[in-house]
Amino acid sequence: MEITITFLLSFFIAVIGVAPPGLLNMTAAKISLKDGHARGLVFCAGACVIIAVQTFIAVLFARYLSNHPEVVSVLKRVAFVIFVLITVYFLLVAKKIANKPKQEREPKNKKSRFFFGIILSALNVFPIPYQAYMVITIASLGWFNFETINMYTYIAGAVTGSFVVFYAYIFFFDKIKSNKLKSQKNMNKLIGLVTGVIALITLINIIREM
């Protein structure tokens, strides 16, 4: 039961982190539309390899921090500031640039989709601090411990959740593309609200520790 809970928590945490339109999921959808679902899934597989490594690093980092509460106290304050800034960005700033077209480079060699996924995923380092913070949070709530089996289960859940989101983008790309602007604006608001709630929870935890 404990392993199942760990997997589900990791799965949903990964879904929340990967669901907003970004370079990886949108690139996966575009590759699928241009070269077929098979190549899109190969790209996703490459991206998920790096996501597994990043999640492993994040869990190790979280385990270290859990043994050094004085460091966690400082990082909570840093995290609060970061989440406030992210909230302000997505609620006030991002909507102003939603109309600007974006150009993304893709490799001409179709056989390199797997490595292309690895490279793009490696450039995205956000999952490490995000996963580390979430692991510390659920561990502090007693929903996760750092036993080896739980750590690997968490990584499996993160990879599975990320792949499911990538596949959803591939499957529903036509709908997402036809409503790109509306979807982007709504997603920006959703991200802003989620990060705002996280910032509020972090602030409450900081106040309780004072």
Interval 34-75: pLDDT, tens? 887 888 889 999 999 999 999 999 999 888 887 776 666 676
| 63 Cβ contact partners less than 8 Å away, ≥ 6 residues apart | 146, 151
Structure-model confidence comparison of residues 46 and 141, the more confident one: 46
Asked whether residue 181 carries a pLDDT value surpassing 50, the answer given is: no
Alpha-carbon torsion, ordered 118, 5, 60, 164, to 10 deg: 10
Structure-model confidence comparison of residues 196 and 178, the more confident one: 196
Identify which of 22-26, 32-36, 108-112, 120-124 has the greatest average pLDDT.
120-124
Average pLDDT, the chain: 78
Q: Determine what percent of the chain is predicted with pLDDT higher than 70.
A: 70
Structural domain harbouring 180 = 2-209
Cβ atoms of 186 and 95 closer than 8 Å:
no
pLDDT at 159: 96
> What is the C-alpha to C-alpha distance for residues 47 and 144, in angstroms, rounded to an integer?
26
Is 60 buried (19+), middle (13-18) or exposed (0-12) by CB count in 10 A?
middle
Based on the structure, what is the number of domains in the chain?
A: 1
